[in-house]
Amino acid sequence: MAISDPYRLVVIGGGAALVLVMSLVRFCGSMSLPPKPPPPRALTGTQQELISRTTNSPTVYLDYLHSDAAAASIPVPTLNDMQRKLPYHGDESTRLLAPGAAPIDVAGLRLHLEVSGDAVVMKIENLLPSDVAYEVTTTSSLGPACNSARALPFDAMVIRKGSSETRTECVYRTDAQLRITKVETIELPPLSAFYVEQVPPSLVGIDARIARGHHASGEVCSEVVAQSVRSGIEKHEIGWRDLVDFYARHRCQTYQFPSTYRALSADGERPIPAVDARM
């Protein structure tokens, strides 16, 4: 049966409306999706400068002192406290030390060699009236063979007041000789000792033969340093004292050693915190 003109118009109009609705659902629906987020951007020079200015702020630095002292359950030092010269003791006299020989006292430490199993170990006692950062540089006539001795766990960074640390030196052989070439110590106030204990020995140039036995009591910071700093250590332009002096005043989680930093030789010699001006 033929459809009359009025009904034909209704059918055609309804079909057109249906096509329109389907088109809107198809195309407009896809337009309602959220836009794709942009890729992450690298820090610009301006952003890096802002971060540097923030960490260089005495107010931010003092906030770290308060929070870190609370975490360590120790008194909060003042900014003036953190800008004071740290007592340093150093001795570069060469000494031979053998297991069982009388202990020697040098730079505030008492050093004694013992035989433990198949290894020679050094007991290092703190004679100073405070916690100390320390470095005892030794060489053995056995050279790389020393690394075959099992490394005892010890703190290679700090010896607490009235305490001692025992570290593995080398495998034991009757013909082996141990030579002490340098001993350095820095007396540390409580928060400085807390800071230095979190520093990996490699960051302050301690030999890998000794550092392999290091056992930190808490959090350990990253071993990554700027190439300019690494180069300065290798060329002996930056010394153990410079590095420890910096980390005794700065939390290593936040502050990086500036290649131009040197240990303070007088109270208030430079502003703290110390941030590389080139950053």
Predicted structure pTM score? 0.79
Domain contains 152 = yes
Q: Which residues have C-beta within 8 Å of that of residue 276, sequence separation ≥ 6?
A: 52, 256, 258, 259, 260
Nearest to 119 by CA among 167, 165, 170: 170
Lowest-pLDDT range of 76-80, 102-106, 173-177, 264-268: 173-177
pLDDT bracket for residue 38 (50, 70, 90): low
Q: Is 26 exposed, middle or buried (CB count within 10 Å of its CB: 0-12, 13-18, 19+)?
A: exposed
pLDDT bracket for residue 1 (50, 70, 90): very low
Q: Both tokens of residue 53?
A: 């200015």
- The pLDDT value recorded for residue 112 is 96
Token pair 């990086």: residue = 256
Sign of CA dihedral 95, 98, 103, 108: positive
Strands (E), the chain: 88-91, 95-97, 104-106, 109-116, 119-126, 131-140, 158-159, 164-171, 178-188
Q: What is the DSSP letter of 154?
A: B
Q: Total domain count for the chain?
A: 1
**Count of CB atoms situated within 10 Å of the CB of 100:** 8
> Is there a contact between 169 and 138 (Cβ–Cβ < 8 Å)?
yes
Domain contains 16 = no
Most confidently modeled range among 46-55, 85-94, 229-238: 85-94
Q: Which residues have C-beta within 8 Å of that of residue 56, sequence separation ≥ 6?
A: 273, 275
Domain contains 8 = no
Higher pLDDT pick, 128 / 223: 128
Nearest to 245 by CA among 55, 97, 85: 85
Domain contains 268 = no
Q: What 3-state DSSP class applies to 229?
A: helix
Distance CA 107, CA 90 (A): 6
pLDDT for 156 beyond 70: yes
pLDDT for 233 beyond 80: yes
- The pLDDT value recorded for residue 277 is 60
For 82-114, the pLDDT digits (tens) are 999 999 999 999 999 999 899 999 999 999 999
Q: How far lies 82's CA from each of 86, 110, 113, 132, in Å?
A: 9, 28, 36, 16
Domain contains 17 = no
> Is there a contact between 259 and 238 (Cβ–Cβ < 8 Å)?
yes
Q: What 3-state DSSP class applies to 116?
A: strand
pLDDT bracket for residue 278 (50, 70, 90): low
Domain contains 24 = no
Domain contains 2 = no
Mean per-residue pLDDT, 217-227:
83
Q: What is the DSSP letter of 44?
A: P
Rounded (10°) CA dihedral 212, 217, 219, 222: -20
Task: Look up the domain containing 207 and give its range.
Answer: 46-247
Average pLDDT score over the chain: 85
Distance CA 150, CA 172 (A): 11
pLDDT for 48 beyond 80: no
Higher pLDDT pick, 182 / 14: 182
Domain contains 31 = no
